[in-house]
Amino acid sequence: MSSVNITGTGMYIPAQIVTNEDMKRFVDTSDEWIVQRTGIRERHFSQGEPNWYMGVQAAKQAVGNAGVDPKEIDVIISCSITPDYFYPTIACTVQDELGADNAFCWNMEAACSGFIYALDVARSYLAVGSAKTVLIVCSENMSKSLDFTDRSTCVLFGDGAAAAVVQKGDGLYASCMGSDGRTGAALLARALPLDTPFATEKDDPKYAKYMEANDPYLKMNGRAVYRFTAHAIPNMVTGACERAGIQVEDLDLIVPHQANLRIIETAAERLHVPMEKMYVNIDRYANTSCASVPICLAELVADGRLKRGDKIALAGFGGGLTCGAVVFEW
């Protein structure tokens, strides 16, 4: 079976640590309130590092750890919902900074599910032989999309980047993906509005979908998101295991998107696995969107927690709403 081999990982975390106590300067909250509801104790916010810079630093580390020449990279896929520019993409900027002249570059936007989707696409490139080496770069400046007067959202997120070099592997691999566009408004951030001298019908009621987002800040219906995510991880992980021909209990480790500790605990219960099998670092980084799963991987590799042959599941869920899981042997 054609699988993936993650040969190098890297991460970049801004040096600035913002604790729950620090957040009290902006909103009516407390360390106890945040920890009880989310499991978050601190997060890192950029002091000025742009998104592309964080992605480049993570990519350089991943490529160095993989021991590959940047000119051997065939494809660079970037993921971000907080880019510095609509174009050029982060992928093209990474190509320039690395000197990966032979790669073609593009950006995938699947919010917090981005790394999972990108890994599955990378596996397709590798399986059909159109690429031998794929670099995935996930970078998020979530702090710039936050309304620091809204305590229900601003305490949940952090900034960070991570990258992975992916090459063809053998053995176990399966994926399970899903989306629910019907509840897309549960996580919402508006892009540039159509506001030109020629847009004379821009306020027509028939275009009113999502118009409650009149500023660029992230909006969230927490209850709707929780209902979706409470089922997303167990359904996607179970589906991927079934396609791989294994049982959930055969997994050595599950790496879920770090959105909320309560969601992860609920997923563990529904999957009937102990929390020891769920990797958690949300207490230190909060929700870094698409960077969260690859940050976990980079930490696991650095700590020597992953052994070749380990069966692992990666699971993501986020805006769209989107969700997905991949199961493979490390």
Write out the catalytic residue numbers. Answer: 112, 257, 287
Beta strands in the chain (DSSP E): 2-12, 17-19, 42-44, 75-79, 104-108, 133-141, 159-170, 173-179, 187-188, 219-220, 253-256, 311-318, 322-329
Q: Position 23: which residue type?
A: M
Instruction: Report the candidate in 158, 167, 166, 169 with the shortest Cα–Cα distance to residue 59.
Output: 166
- DSSP for 82-124 reads S-S-SSS-HHHHHHHHHT-TT-EEEEE--GGGHHHHHHHHHHH
Buried (b) or exposed (e) across 42-70, using 16+ Cβ within 10 A? Answer: bbbbbeebbbbbbbbbbbbbbbebbebeb
Instruction: Report the candidate in 179, 187, 114 with the shortest Cα–Cα distance to residue 153.
Output: 187
Tally the residues of the chain: 330
Maximum CA pair distance of the chain? 60
- CA separation for the pair 232, 174 (Å, rounded): 16
